[in-house]
Amino acid sequence: MTTESNVHVEYAVLPGRTRPSALVHLGDPASRKPVIWSSERIASLAAALDDVETHEVEAVVLSGSAHSFGAGADLTALAAARTAGDAAELGAEGWRTFRRLTELHTPSFALITGFALGGALELALFADYRLARSDTRAIGLPEVRLGLVPGWGGIHRLARLAGPRVAYDVAVRDSRRGTSLSAENAGRLGIVDRVIPAAGWNEQWPAAVAELLSSFTPQRREKHPSDEEYAAQLTTVHSDFARSRPTVSAAPARALELLDAAQTETLDQAQAATTTVFADLLLSDAGKASLYAYQLSRSPGRLPADLTVGAAQPIERAAVIGAGLMASQLATLLVRFGGLPVVLTDLDQTRADRGAELVRSQLATAAEKGQLSAAEAARLSALVTASAEPGAIAGADFVIEAIFENMAAKQQALAEAEKHLAPHALLATNTSSLSISEMADDLQHPERVIGFHIFNPVESVPLVEIIRGRKTDEATVATALELAAKLKRQAIVAADSPGFVVNRLLTRLYDVVMTAIDAGGDPVIVDHSIDDLGLPMSPLRLLDFVGPAIQLHVSETMHEAFPDRFSHLKWLTRVVDDGQRTVLQRDQTLTPEATALLPAADESMRPAELAASVRTGILDALTDEVDRMLAEGVVERAEDIDKAMILGANFPWALGGITPYLRSRTYVRSNTAQLTSDESETR
């Protein structure tokens, strides 16, 4: 059929028609791999279109595979670009080929199945019609999140097709959020012309093509919003952009520039403008950092270099100690993605039953959202049991405790669990900051104890920190890594050190924020001092999300371990002692209750000076902590830290996690050479 980079054309008469159509297969129709738009594949499409132009056809129909219409550019090639000329050519080559669809004498159709992201959607937007299978789950332009803009005409084509409001939402807003459109929503927005039921797709798309052929006129290609409508939509777009979260990346602003011009530009002008912007962004610090971040976000977890390749143990049954909200989410993960029978245990049967019911409720919700079939949700629900008997975990190969953060309680839970388990079974803890080694020291088999820190909310945070205790063996680490992959989690392996990776860095950041407030700094100014970094939440908003009591517990743990740089936080202690669960109001100012507990204000520092001082303090503190973590061997490489902050704390891709930004700002000191060499290995 087709090779990896070949586009194949066949000529066939569609049912009910008399003239042939050109069926352009962008990749192997039987492959599960998405079409990736390398230079070789673009050249192959160009050759295919050359061939089409030598035949008399009534339609050109583009298809990917049963699994997807395709994805975007070859990111390896993008990351390899070193000059403005290289970067510009990467943008121009797609434009030159894709726009040829608008120059054909016959109408073109894009058959969207599975997903159409980035370059694949841009190609579809050059077609005259887009037909989507109803189960298509992701249609979008994710380039802005990568620090780029859609380089092959996506903004211009989408703005002319559906208006600047839709184009902005898809190319900027949704991209920054990491979201995309379903076929139904794309149809509602005018991006897709027809949504065809998946059950009858193979029979119905040819009929839809035949119907649309009868009404096609060349004037369709000139259709676009009126000047008045376009201007009105642009006004709302600019208003939304002004209120959007700041970022160190210029990509959102440059995308808006392209939107401003799209209504009046010719294709030639749009190609020249887009190619220039794309090349500028690709070679920018934020662009390079974003590509690095993307590669890290998809990299598999790996054994540390000091461990030989351990043999992973099979896991066929699991148990969760505890039956609260976090425990139920862990059990759902093990059942839904691991396909494992899971028992939840708690102090009494009522609590255990409640936890099991929470798992079944989460599975039912997934079915309601179309993420599982009703039959699959019912099958998985039957795998969930509950018990108040400690011995109910017998036979489990993987046991994870998810009780409250107290060392003595966790030691007791693991010691009791060990009595009922075979020697090979893993004993895991979901602790966010307590010592794995201390938990395991008094057990008979400390070598099979491991930290398996899943973040909350479990459904949307893909990171798991796998923490090695002093005596954790290779097979245990290897098994945990294999399980993480099975659960569709991205893993990093870290040494047993207070706070591990994400909480250690976030708590160091909090320390600067809270000590500035304890010194009388205006909390609102302090809270927004690093807005320009584009973090998903300000520190105090994140505090409300995590919970003041939980953060105080982590801060106290870190203060006990490293009193030289983690402080006793006075205002936060008062907030928790007062029973307050949040400190911000909806307008992002402090609640009256939190305000009443503040120290006397220091009026000596101007707002701008305070903000600058806190910002510098945060970056210096993060730099220091990164240096220390690398020197201590908490992780092997700077990439592990970046991956953790991207996937566990949702740090912006434009920062590259954190270390590329710190290095670009000349903040990283002792490990600059280490960071540079580490980063180059991933590209």
Active site residues: 122, 143
Contacts of 302 (CB under 8 A, 6+ apart): 481, 493
Distance separating alpha carbons of residues 179 and 140, to the nearest angstrom: 8
Distance separating alpha carbons of residues 123 and 140, to the nearest angstrom: 12
Torsion of CA 270, 272, 274, 277, to 10 degrees: -140
Distance separating alpha carbons of residues 261 and 252, to the nearest angstrom: 15
Contacts of 508 (CB under 8 A, 6+ apart): 558, 565, 566, 621, 622, 624, 625
Burial category of 505 from C-beta neighbours within 10 Å (exposed 0-12, middle 13-18, buried 19 and up): buried
Contacts of 521 (CB under 8 A, 6+ apart): 602, 605, 610, 614
> H helices then E strands: how many in the chain?
29, 16
Give me the amino acid identity at 275: T
Sign of the alpha-carbon torsion through 41, 44, 45, 46: positive
Chain centroid to CA 416? 38
CA-nearest of 170, 164, 122 to 144 is 170
Kindly report the number of other CB atoms within 10 A of residue 54's CB atom: 6
Kindly report the number of other CB atoms within 10 A of residue 276's CB atom: 15
- The answer for 579, left when phi > 0, alpha when psi is -120 to 50, beta otherwise, is left
DSSP 118-131: THHHHHHHHSSEEE
Distance separating alpha carbons of residues 657 and 651, to the nearest angstrom: 6
Distance separating alpha carbons of residues 453 and 450, to the nearest angstrom: 9
Which residues on neighbouring strands pair with residue 448, listed in sequence order? none
Kindly report the number of other CB atoms within 10 A of residue 307's CB atom: 16
Distance separating alpha carbons of residues 79 and 147, to the nearest angstrom: 12
CB 69 within 8 Å of CB 113: yes
Torsion of CA 639, 635, 465, 321, to 10 degrees: 180
CA-nearest of 619, 620, 614, 617 to 526 is 614
Distance separating alpha carbons of residues 523 and 217, to the nearest angstrom: 62
Kindly report the number of other CB atoms within 10 A of residue 56's CB atom: 9
Computed on alpha carbons and rounded to an integer, the radius of gyration of the chain in Å comes to 28
Token pair of 605 as six digits: 């520092």
